Amino acid sequence: ERGEMAKSTQLIDNEVFRAYATYTAIVLLKMMLMSLITAYFRITRKAFVNPEDTASFGKGESAKKFLRTDPDVERVRRGHLNDLENIVPFVGIGLLYALSGPELSTALLHFRIFTGARICHTFAYLIPLPQPGRGLSWAVGYSVTFSMAYKVLKTAWLL
């Protein structure tokens, strides 16, 4: 199976690409976890947004009172959206960066710092930690993506 793949592409045999694949899978799984946390808070706080989701709590007015916003649910949702806004650029620019021929050690440094920063960001958002905890972890991840984008544009530039 790896043999046949190797004939058409050795991407996955490239160490930088393997590192990219590992960290990208980790941060995307972390982002997907936010859906489960949202569902957990929606169910425990009984705070839903779709009428059909409250049908199991009874009919009419008795179910309608669960159609409400809850501060904990909204907090997780903001964390999820912030993940989308920051992890999407990491995945896209990171792929190009991994294909732009960086040193393995430099690439690992970028991927590790970004992943660590986004995990810290999630804890800072959900606990929540006092500022500038969340702000700093956001800025670190942002800077890593920016640094990778600089390397991509320097290597690939063709306008």
Binding site for its own copies (CB under 8 A): 1-2, 4-6, 8-19, 21-22, 24-26, 28-29, 31-32, 34-35, 49-50, 52-53, 55-56, 75, 78, 80, 84-89, 91-93, 95-96, 99-103, 128-131, 134, 142, 145-146, 149, 152-153, 155-159
Contact indicator for 41, 126 with CB cutoff of 8 Å: no
The least distance separating its own copies from the CB of residue 12, rounded to whole angstroms, comes to 5
Spatial separation of the C-alpha atoms in residues 25 and 122, rounded to whole Å: 17
Min dist CB 141 to its own copies, Å, is 10
Calpha distance 147→6 (Å, rounded):
31
Nearer to its own copies, 21 or 140 (CB): 21
Whether 122 and 30 have beta carbons less than 8 Å apart is answered as yes
Taking the complex as a whole, how short is the minimal distance between the CB of residue 99 and its own copies, in angstroms?
5
- CB of 46 within 8 A of CB of 57? yes
Q: Using the CB atoms, write b or e for 101-119: b if 16+ within 10 Å.
A: ebeeeebbebbeebbebbe
Alpha-carbon span 11 to 154, nearest angstrom? 21
Q: Nearer to its own copies by C-beta: 6 or 40?
A: 6
Nearer to its own copies, 65 or 155 (CB): 155
Nearer to its own copies by Cβ, of 96 and 140: the residue is: 96
